Structure 1
Amino acid sequence: MSHTKKKKKNPKPSEKNLRVGLADGIIKASPEPRLALPLRQPPGEEPRPARPAPSPMDLRAGDSWGMLACLCAVLWHLPAVPALNRTGDPGPGPSIQKTYDLTRYLEHQLRSLAGTYLNYLGPPFNEPDFNPPRLGAETLPRATVNLEVWRSLNDRLRLTQNYEAYSHLLCYLRGLNRQAATAELRRSLAHFCTSLQGLLGSIAGVMAALGYPLPQPLPGTEPTWTPGPAHSDFLQKMDDFWLLKELQTWLWRSAKDFNRLKKKMQPPAAAVTLHLEAHGF
């Protein structure tokens, strides 16, 4: 009797044997893959070594496109860095920025010094609304200038006026320091004089970077401070008041001067050069 072999139907894979994978953005269910049995080695042949599994650090052909896309993204953002790989001499820009920062610092320092000194002078000099006429302080350099005249100044004249003004003001401040009655006030004045001397040196550095010579004082015109014998105590205090007021105005003007000069000397974005090396492309 012949036995008829019935074909066995493949059982449907159970949920336990299903594997959910993500391929091309579509979730598919596939049976669990079977293990492949190794083929028998023909007699007389040496066993072949198994092929090593690819290392996770191996680069595939498609990875070069990823590297290229990454490089393009970096190059796209490079112009946003203004000082990247800038070549050549930086020019006077850093000296101008340093001088501008120093003028702003001295403005802050003078507010503290003026409050202390005006309290030392007493009323009415320490009152907020006190604004006396300028009488005996005609030798002080004036910072006030017409706006159109100020705009028409060239760089050399602008720097020269700043340098000469602070040379005079520093001399008068040292005179105040010599006549100060308290040790605390002398320390404050000495500290401010040191900072103002630093500002003079910074202005000289800007002029040297731009190729301008320092102004030489004419014979007999060097600033000196001597207390006038005919001055009354009130008039002497008036001179001290105007010295601090003129110094405050000069620092305000200098901040405007160096900010204007800083913007003028700032290189355009096209002047920034980039040196890039790409290997393997």
Structure 2
Amino acid sequence: MPLTGKSVRLARLSRPGDGRFLFVPLDHSVSDGPVASAAGFAELVTDIAAGGADAIVVHKGRARMIPPQLMASCSLVVHLSASTAHAPDTNAKVLVGDVEEAVRLGADAVSVHVNIGSDTEAAQLTDLGTVASACERFGIPLMAMIYPRGPRVSDPQDPTLLAHVANIAADLGVDIVKTVLASPPERMAEVVAASPLPIVVAGGGSTDQSLFEFAATALEAGCSGLAVGRRVFTSPSPEKAVRELTSLIHDQKFPPVPTPRPEMAGAL
């Protein structure tokens, strides 16, 4: 990849430069409520950065409250989408920020949430395309938090649907895909093989596996990393949780990501 603003920022998103990622989303304060006390938020970010996370994900207003020195070794992803748990349709995501604002804040990347199968899918896809175009103009990477989610989706972990949403992201100009782990988990390898983009798996709030077993499952399937928020900021020791995840993602030897093959999409 030639040296461009986007390539430089993409390289920053993986601290060791191995193409693997640990993102810690803290955007839940818009959707669900505070992730830490007002006084404790800077301490939480400090712990996450000290643990070795590659990036945190926050909304634009929260980014302005982070002391700049805390971001010396941890990348900043500004999330541009929002909805709340109190909305008539919680799957209806709207844009609440833009790429230019994120650039002014010093962001290394931006993210947009899209729910495929929701009643407002068309508007969300339009927003994704608009943001992708702006990201090209400003040379900033785009992560799509893209999920099969809505009244027409019976199984949000269906591998066929997950392969579809990953390819929607690729076709609309995204750089990194965040989505859920397939069920059964071993079929996530098929999703990865069908995707031309790196996939990071959402850590989720509840699972039968421990966080680290869950992470190992995703990495063994060929995923490029994880995005873990709730199970970090609710941990008794966020720094320890992040440090252990960082070691698992960056230090352990997992099978290389499969090379995408065109026929895989039809085989799912």
Q: TM-score range by the shorter chain?
A: under 0.3
Is the strand fraction higher in 1 or 2? Answer: 2
TM-score by length of 2: 0.21
Greater relative contact order structure (CA < 8 Å, 6+ sep): 1
Structure (1/2) with the larger helix percentage: 1
Q: Give the TM-score of the pair, scaled to structure 1.
A: 0.20
Select the structure of larger CA radius of gyration: 1
